[in-house]
Amino acid sequence: MQEIDKLPLLDRDPLGLVQMMPGVVQQGNSATVINGLRTSYSNMTLDGINIQDNYLRDNALDYTPNRILLGQIRQMTLVTSNQNAAAPVAPHSSRSRPPSGTNTFHGSAYWYNRNNDFAANDWFNNQAGVANPRLNQNQAGGTFGGPIKKDKLFFYTNYEAVRTNSQLPQTETILTDTARQGIFTYQAGSAVRTVNLLTLRNIAIDPYMAKLLAQVPAGAAINNFDVGDSTPQLLRNTAGYRYNQRNNEVRDNVTTRLDYNLSSATSSTALTSGTATIATAPISITATPRFPASPIPTTATFSLWAGAGLPRRLSPTNCAAASISLPAISSPHRTSVLT
């Protein structure tokens, strides 16, 4: 446990441990793969309970619905070949074990802060004249465990809170001022020509579309030409608008574990863990990237998993176990709009 705690893991995310192992490849925004196999071939468990997103398996090694944190595990084992009875489900598996209580009381408290006070701005933000994205992340929590009945019944509990106030650079395609009026600009050979599509069809702009366009920044906000059909020399119909989008998160993780020693060779365990997350982000299941003046979706998710086991030591080198588990249960995304 202490060895894992001392590792410099970003955001206290134990999934980062997987990427440190031989045969594991992760390149920036690409999915993590082991030995070149598909990510869906991976199996990830916590105390024998599968904690993966079993609906979208393309992110099998990069995301878990319950989003476990460092205080929830004490040991992680990665099996990449030669599977055995302990890891029979997939070609490779990642198995994590949560901490247990002991005959003495132990606890910890911690607080981490990560911010952008000494961070350089994004190169593309500098190019577009956009400020450094804000980041102020606080992670705080504590652990406590010990005996309920000495040599027999033990408990362990963990709570960790994540409070993130941040911004995420976004580049969107917006209309030029002439395009907003229905004027289409095109090039015929070396000549630049324009035509008013609304006049051509003898129609007016739809009132609903006009209302939506009012939420989109005007042509004066154009600050790059990475997207769209315009160039610095010629404004046609569309161009790029780069800005910092709010990307906040409130997350609470709770884990409890009970261990009962039935005999010197047999014990029973019970584990429950859950996560509650409220995120304000530019991209969600029900929303596409939004402009600063547009309403921002807020998504709330809640997930829970539980399990119980009965391991038995057969010899100093062999053991057997029986377990039952309730895989991760996640609530539907509940999205409201903040104005």
* Domain regions of the chain by residue span: 1-98, 100-173+240-339, 174-239
Whole-angstrom CA distances from 42 to 16, 27, 51, 325 are: 15, 18, 11, 19
Q: What is the pLDDT of residue 121?
A: 94
Q: How many CA atoms lie within 13 A of 86 on its CB side?
A: 15
More confident residue, 277 or 207: 207
Residue 297 has pLDDT above 80, yes or no: no
Q: Are 138 and 125 in contact (CB under 8 A)?
A: no
Whole-angstrom CA distances from 96 to 7, 32, 49, 183 are: 16, 18, 9, 60
Q: What is the pLDDT of residue 57?
A: 63
Q: Which two tokens stand for residue 24?
A: 């594991």
Q: Which of 13, 29, 247, 5 is nearest to 136 (CA)?
A: 247
* Range from 30-34, 182-186, 232-236, 314-318 carrying the lowest mean pLDDT: 314-318
Q: What is the pLDDT of residue 36?
A: 82
Distance from the Cα of residue 72 to its chain's centroid? 17
Helix, strand and coil in the chain, % to nearest 5? 15, 50, 40
Q: What is the pLDDT of residue 146?
A: 94
Domain 1-98 falls in which CATH fold?
A: Ferric Hydroxamate Uptake Protein; Chain A, domain 1 (2.170.130)
Q: Which two tokens stand for residue 181?
A: 């009026």
Other CB atoms within a 10 A radius of the CB of residue 31 amount to 16
Residue with tokens 């057997």: 320
Q: Which of 143, 140, 67 is nearest to 100 (CA)?
A: 143
Cα separation, 128 vs 303, in Å, equals 40
Q: Which two tokens stand for residue 268?
A: 């029973």
Q: What is the pLDDT of residue 159?
A: 92
DSSP for 295-311, written as a single string:
-EEEEEEEEEEEEEEEE
Cα separation, 313 vs 292, in Å, equals 60
Quote the pTM value. Answer: 0.77
* Range from 83-87, 165-169, 312-316 carrying the lowest mean pLDDT: 312-316
Summarised one tens digit per residue, pLDDT across range 195-231 is 999 999 999 999 999 988 888 899 999 999 999 999 9
Strands 153-175 and 92-97: unpaired
Cα-Cα-Cα-Cα torsion 31, 34, 38, 40, nearest 10 degrees, comes to -80
Residue 243 has pLDDT above 50, yes or no: yes
Q: What is the pLDDT of residue 44?
A: 81
Angle at 22 between CA 16 and CA 28, to 5 degrees: 45
Q: What is the pLDDT of residue 337?
A: 44
Residue 81: phi, psi to the nearest 5?
A: -165, 170
Q: Which of 267, 308, 307, 271 is nearest to 149 (CA)?
A: 267
pLDDT bucket at 336, cuts 50 / 70 / 90: very low
